[in-house]
Every structure is written in structure tokens, then in C-alpha cells.
Structure 1
Amino acid sequence: MSNNIVVLDNGGGLIKAGQGGECDPLVVIPNCLFKPLSSKKFIFPPPLSHGADVDIDLTSAAVRRPIDRGYLINPDLQRDIWSHLFTSLLRITPTSSSLLLTEPPLSIPSVQRATDELVFEDFGFSSLYLANPQSLVHLYEASRRPGSILSRTQCSLVVDCGFSFTHAVPVLHNFTLNHAIKRIDLGGKAFTNYLKELVSYRSINVMDQTFLMDDAKEKLCFVSLHLHRDLNLARERRNGNVIKSTYVLPDGVTHTKGYVKDPQSAMNFLTLGLSDEGPNTLLDTKLDNVERKKADMNKNEIDLTNERFLVPETLFQPADLGMNQAGLAECIVRAVSSCHSYLQPVLYQSIILTGGSTLFPQLKERLERELRPLVPDHFDVKIITQEDPILGVWRGGSVLASSPDFESMCVTKAEYEELGSARCRRRFFH
């Protein structure tokens, strides 16, 4: 078996790929093809330098994704994206490489078979290990915190808010407790779509501006610590400037990307969080003395006020989108309550937030406030945020791939050909 191990975190929004044992992935690319207005055909997205924008005009770009609502629905499209990734970006030979591939929890058999066919039949990898993303996050954080209760007990609750779903997953000794997994059908894609609807209803039609609204969401949305106060602020003309931000759309000439008009004022909401009573007087005075920068519709500018916190608010109140599902805090409590009573106090002390949608400012603080009344008083609640929640899964995969036991845990191509997909997958306890 080859020592060349490719770690592939195949998310619905982003693919993170690189060599096992490294600190960071070599490549991060959107898991899609898109067609800008300047192109006659769908093209492969260029790699992202992590945290940077795609260097291409994506105004009104069409997009095709192989994964929808967390499931692989277009294996042919995924094959094309992987082929580009392996050949042009990673420059690896699959037939002489092992693959560590992530797969969301509770995947259905037809998707599992399609994935195995891609790995072994289309690309001919020499061996495969399928990993649950949440178990990799647990592994990574346990390796980073050797003296913590998480590491000592080898038990945690991983809250993974990604592109398609939000999962609350109890993990024990690197295995997910599948019977206790709880899911909310909300993720980054749903948040972006909701922002598009709100902006389109209130100002200009941006329903075909997926990438622009995704950028606006990432730069401007935040979790409210005082919902009713912030709603009132957004309604008031004078104090509304504490919440209001202007996002400038591309004009295709001077700039091909959207941007925040006044980034500093966009951060004023963080000062509000210092007071439970409302905005502080000093901040109001400063804002009154600052020249207001109003949106100019002739320049394709849009004002965002309560949209900034109403979008992430749906994670705590899915009913706002007409969904009959529990919010994040209750979802966590249900997951913990489904576990053995001996594990429950440990799980509440080792809640790990991961996934790109946990980057909303103030999410951790809001979750702590919502959880505390729902958790028994004699249990401590501790929430851990990852240093980079987008790369946390991949880094855990890299740690696992560098383990001396990794090769013995894999299914080889010969075993797959002899036993088939279903029997091979028993190796991974799925």
C-alpha cells in the first residue's frame, strides 16, 4: 500500500484537499462549476487562497453543484471536479495513493455506493478510509488539548454548521454515536438564500446574485445577543445607523466584486454587546457626529439593517422560515439527552463549534445564553470554538492519516472488488 495519503474533505460548499500529515490543505476550491456572464460554458473554479475571494467576476454567475442538501446527487459532475483537482491542482496519481474521504453522518446506501464507485472504479485509488467529519474534529481538538476534559474522557459534542446542514453529534473515542445525532436542515446555503430573499423584497432583485450575497453574508451578518433591542434599533432612523451597513455591488468597470462601504461602522454592533440595557450613550454621540453614508441606488448600493441578524437568527428560530424543527440550543439538548446519563455532564463541558457558519460573530455567546436555562444547574456548559472552523475537519483527517495504524484501517481496492461496497463499509461502523 502506498504511503501517499490524500486527505479530502468533500464539503457541499468547499473542497479542502492535501497530503496527510501536513498542517493545512494544499488546495481549497468551491465544490461546483460556475458560468460567469463572460463565459459560454461552465468552468472550474480557481483555488482560493484561504480567506480570499475568487479572483473572477461572479456577477449573475450560474452554478452547478454535485452535492445538494448534503447528498451526492450528481456523481458525474463530482467526478469531473475531482479529476480537475487530482490532475491539475494536487498533481497526484490516484492508483498509487490512498484516500481519506469525509462523508456526512447517516448517509444513505445509494450515495455510499456511488461514492465507492467514484473512488475505486473511476479513479482507482489503492485504498480508502471513510471518515465522519465530526469524529475528525474531535480527534483534532483532543490532540491539541492534551490536558483538557475532552482529551481525558475522549468524549465531546461536535456542533457542525456547514453548507447544507447543522448537526449535533456526540463523539466517544473517535466514533460518532449515531443513535443520538440530531440535525437541523439549515446551513450556509440556506442563510445565503434567505438573505437574497430579504434584500430582493426590500430593495433590488438579487436572486441570481448567489456569490455576491454569500460575500455580503460573510462580511456583515452577525448573531444578535438582544433580538428585541436590535429590532428596535433597526427601526429607529437615528440609532439604526448602529446596525445599518451599506454593501456596494460590482459595476463591472471600477470593481468586479462587492464590498462593504464603511467596514468600521459595520462593527458597531460589537460595542452594543457590552451592555445588556441597550446602546451606550458614547456610541450614540459618536454616530451623531459622523457623516452618514447613505446608500446610493444609482451606484447599485444596498442598505442592510435587520437582515444582518435576522439571517443567522433562523439557526436559533427555524420557525421563522416555516420549519417545524428545534433551534440550535434545543437540538444540542436533545442530542445530549439521547446519550447515557454518565456521558451527559461531559458532553456539556466539551461542545465544539465547527463549520463555516459558526463564524458569525457572537454565535458562541448567544448559544451559551440559550443553553444555560435548558441544561440542569449542576452541569457545567463549556463551548469550544476552533481556530479555523473551515479547516478543522481537514486537519483532523491529516492527524488520522499520519497515524501508524492508518493503513490497517483502510479498505483496499482488492477487498472492494472481492466483497463489494456494502460489506467493505462495515469496516467503518456505518
Structure 2
Amino acid sequence: MATLVLDNGAYTAKIGYSLEKVSVIPNCQFRSKNSRLKTFTANQLDEIKDPSGLFYILPFQKGYLVNWDVQRKVWDHLFGKEMFKVDFADTSIIITEPYFNFTSIQESMNEILFEEYQFQSALRINGGSLSAHHCFHSKPSELCCLVVDSGFSFTHIAPYCRSKKLNHGIRRINVGGKLLTNHLKEIISYRQLHVMDETHVINQVKEDVCYVSQQFYKDMEIAQLRGEDNDLMRDYVLPDFSAIKKGFCKPREEMVFSGKYKTGEQILRLVNERFAVPETLFHPSDIGIQEMGIPEAIVDSVQSLPEEMQPHLYQNIVLTGGNMLFPGFRERLEAELRSLVPAHLPVSVLLPPNPVCHAWEGGKLLAHSPDFDEMVVTREEYEENGHCVCEDKFDI
């Protein structure tokens, strides 16, 4: 039987059969300013000729799946002829869901997977549990790991011991990629150019130019310098969707420090925004969110667990999710933890080669593990026992 692994994120769906490669596809629908009546689904985004003023219709709100109509349309597209041509009668599915998901959402998911799509068997599991499985599979001698998963809606810190998650140690911070993009939109709109409707473009700006500062106050001093002395300044060329399809950073040697560009390109000049926006992950209070940053939340999580586990957790911290792609994130987190953790305990922070698909890779490994058949719920079991069999089997 084929196994389809679907890491169903709030921003992108990571999907693929367990014997094939992963595809990363937008988990939403779009409408463009020019064709308001037509709705584009998932990877049909590439068909939109002018994505300015792109309007996102998301199935997730605050990290939870609430718009089933949109999610069904995305899944129909993914499972259908254009994409994966799923033969439901001969396919098992591993699908992710957030920590502490609502029972009503879990039951709706069971019904859709078994009754509408009629998968042969299914496993609902947290993305962090798949990342932990990946970790224990690659390093069987490890007893514990701490998964830091920072995605679109929020950031979770989840401790695992021998593949079992320790619920009372899980911490959630309400800061994710969506909040960072919105914050950057507000800063640019206030300082330079009204971009509040340009989520798609500004998200690309964030991914292209933002980084995590190693010395925040020192970088702030450099950011105040004028002209060529300011080596943090970057000029970003915005797309016009005719000649320039995708925005890009101007090379340093082509930047004009006094006067204007003669090319007619629309330019955003970015200085302290580059590091002040990702800084929110470390200090949410900077923008009025009264919560711990990631380093404090990690320490708080580990200290809530038995003392003998703590050294093992600190030396096996695994970073997953799109926000881990900011340059400098791993180094900064390791440095901050080093100053917070007792000196005799080693601290090791691991950044996988592809943190976005790390959970999916864990699902792929799980699909081939000897215990997999005992973890899933088959359609027969579901038809016989209903939702209670899923509650018993899935460790959510």
C-alpha cells in the first residue's frame, strides 16, 4: 500500500509519497486584484500574471484549521489528477495537526479522510513528533530531544523523551511568519510606501533581506550611519510584474547613496528593518506582545521537566519551520541559551539542511518503520468504532 505524507501547514503543505520527493505547495487559495472573480488554488499561484494586491484565502486562523471549504478545495487539487492522482482505495495517509488541537477539528478531519476521500488508513500526528522521529532515527543513542518549530502562525517548543512527547513541557509563543510579514508591512508603509495590501511581495522581501542580528545594539549603531559607511543598508527592487517578475536585492556595488536611481525602478531602502523584524522571535515585547522569547521559553520548558532529562534536552535542540531560514538564527539562539543555561551543561542547537521539510522527512521515515501498521487507524476500524478509536490510537 502506498503512503502519502502530508505536513499540512498553515502557510504551505509539504506533500509527497513516502518513496518519492516532497513538494512544497501554498496551502491556500488566492484572488488577484485584476481577476477578482477567479479563484486560484495552491500552486496555481504561478498562473497569476500580476500578483500585486494578491488576496489570500487561508484555511487556518491562528494556527487552527477553521475554513474547511478552502481546505477541501486545496486537498481536492492536491489529491486530484493535476497533482498526485491519489488512488484512495490503496493509499494510507500520514497528516499533521497542531499541538492541543480542538476535538471538533480532529473529528471533522477523521470524517473527511475516511468518509469523503475514503483513505484505507490514516495517522494524525503533530509535526513536531515527526521531527523528533527523524532525530531519534538518525541518532538512535539519543534519549531526548527538544523540537523548536517556528511556523506561520506560532512557535512551539516541544520536549520528547524516547519518541514520546512530554505535554506539560510544551510551550507556545504567539509569534510566527505571518506576524513578522505584517510587522514589516507596517514599518515600510509608515516610513516609505503604502504596502499594506502587498502581503505576497513583502513576504518575499522578508525572506530575501531579513536576518537575525548577533549584536542588536551594535547593528543599530551601524544602521544610523549615512552613506557608504552603513554596510547594513540594502536597496530592494520591487517587481512591476511586466519587466521585473520577482523582486531582488541590488548588488552593493550598484547602490546609489546620494541622489536617485535613473532606471525608473521602484526601490525600497531597508536598514534596521532587516534585523528588527526577526528580533521579535527573541523579544516579542518589542512590539507589545507580553510573552517570552524563544530562548526563555526553551529554558522554561526544560526546567519544568525532571532534572536528569535536562542535560539531554539542552544538547539536542532541533530547529524546524520556515522562520529558521533567517541567516544567523541558530548562532544567536545558541549564544542566548549559553548565557541562560547553567555553565556545566552543554548546549547544542541543530539546524537541519531543510528545516521546512524536516517534519515531512520524519513522516517519510515513519511510513517505513516496523511499528507503522500498529499506529494507523484503518477505515474498517473507523467504520466499526467511530472517533473513539482515533482518540485511543493517536497520541495527540
Pairwise same-fold verdict (TM > 0.5): yes
User: Does residue 1:58 correspond to 2:56, yes or no?
Assistant: no
Give the 5 Å matches for 1:81-160: 81-87=74-80, 88-144=82-138, 146=139, 151-160=140-149
Give the 5 Å matches for 1:26-425: 27-39=23-35, 40-46=37-43, 56-87=49-80, 88-144=82-138, 146=139, 151-238=140-227, 241-262=230-251, 265=252, 292=257, 296=261, 299-425=265-391
Q: CA deviation at 1:239?
A: 5.5
List per-residue Cα deviations over 1:93-126 (Å, max 9, x = no partner): 2232111001111111111112112211221111
For residues 250 and 124 of structure 2, the distance between their equivalents in structure 1, rounded to whole angstroms, comes to 44
CA contact (8 A) 2:381 2:389 kept: no
**1:387 aligned counterpart, secondary structure:** coil
For residues 229 and 317 of structure 2, the distance between their equivalents in structure 1, rounded to whole angstroms, comes to 35
For residues 299 and 48 of structure 2, the distance between their equivalents in structure 1, rounded to whole angstroms, comes to 42
List per-residue Cα deviations over 1:303-352 (Å, max 9, x = no partner): 11100001000001100121110011000001111111111000000001
CA contact (8 A) 1:138 1:171 kept: yes
For residues 46 and 362 of structure 1, the distance between their equivalents in structure 2, rounded to whole angstroms, comes to 30
- 1:20 maps to which residue? 18
TM-score, normalised relative to structure 1: 0.87
Change (3 A) 1:363 1:61: same
Cα RMSD for the two superposed structures: 2.1
- 1:272 maps to which residue? none
Worse-matched range after superposition: 235-244 or 91-100: 235-244
Structure 1 counterpart of 2:240, one-letter code = D
CA contact (8 A) 1:246 1:294 kept: no
Change (3 A) 1:255 1:293: farther
Structure 1 counterpart of 2:5, one-letter code = V
CA contact (8 A) 1:158 1:354 kept: yes
Change (3 A) 1:354 1:180: same
Change (3 A) 1:411 1:35: same
For residues 294 and 351 of structure 1, the distance between their equivalents in structure 2, rounded to whole angstroms, comes to 48
**2:332 aligned counterpart, secondary structure:** helix
For residues 68 and 411 of structure 1, the distance between their equivalents in structure 2, rounded to whole angstroms, comes to 27
For residues 130 and 377 of structure 1, the distance between their equivalents in structure 2, rounded to whole angstroms, comes to 39
Structure 2 counterpart of 1:45, one-letter code = A
Structure 2 counterpart of 1:69, one-letter code = K
Structure 1 counterpart of 2:7, one-letter code = D
For residues 65 and 363 of structure 1, the distance between their equivalents in structure 2, rounded to whole angstroms, comes to 27
Worse-matched range after superposition: 34-43 or 102-111: 34-43
CA contact (8 A) 1:106 1:178 kept: no
**2:118 aligned counterpart, secondary structure:** coil
Q: CA deviation at 1:369?
A: 1.6
Q: CA deviation at 1:256?
A: 2.5
Structure 2 counterpart of 1:74, one-letter code = N
Percent of pairs with identical residues: 41
Q: CA deviation at 1:58?
A: 1.6
For residues 234 and 56 of structure 1, the distance between their equivalents in structure 2, rounded to whole angstroms, comes to 36
List per-residue Cα deviations over 1:333-381 (Å, max 9, x = no partner): 0111111111100000000111110010111111112111211111100
Structure 1 counterpart of 2:68, one-letter code = P
Q: CA deviation at 1:429?
A: 2.1
Moved over 6 A (4+): none
Change (3 A) 1:295 1:41: farther
Structure 2 counterpart of 1:425, one-letter code = E
CA contact (8 A) 2:377 2:389 kept: no
Worse-matched range after superposition: 68-77 or 88-97: 88-97
Q: CA deviation at 1:56?
A: 4.7
Corresponding residue pairs, total: 393
Point out where structure 2 has 5 or more consecutive residues left out of the alignment. Answer: none
Q: CA deviation at 1:186?
A: 0.8
For residues 334 and 175 of structure 1, the distance between their equivalents in structure 2, rounded to whole angstroms, comes to 19
TM-score, normalised relative to structure 2: 0.94
Q: CA deviation at 1:415?
A: 1.8
CA contact (8 A) 1:60 1:209 kept: yes
List per-residue Cα deviations over 1:212-259 (Å, max 9, x = no partner): 111110110000111111111111113663111111112232123222
CA contact (8 A) 2:189 2:195 kept: yes
CA contact (8 A) 2:153 2:175 kept: yes
CA contact (8 A) 1:5 1:100 kept: yes
Q: CA deviation at 1:60?
A: 0.8
CA contact (8 A) 1:222 1:360 kept: yes
**2:83 aligned counterpart, secondary structure:** helix
Q: CA deviation at 1:172?
A: 1.5
For residues 168 and 55 of structure 1, the distance between their equivalents in structure 2, rounded to whole angstroms, comes to 37
For residues 259 and 209 of structure 2, the distance between their equivalents in structure 1, rounded to whole angstroms, comes to 16
**1:340 aligned counterpart, secondary structure:** coil
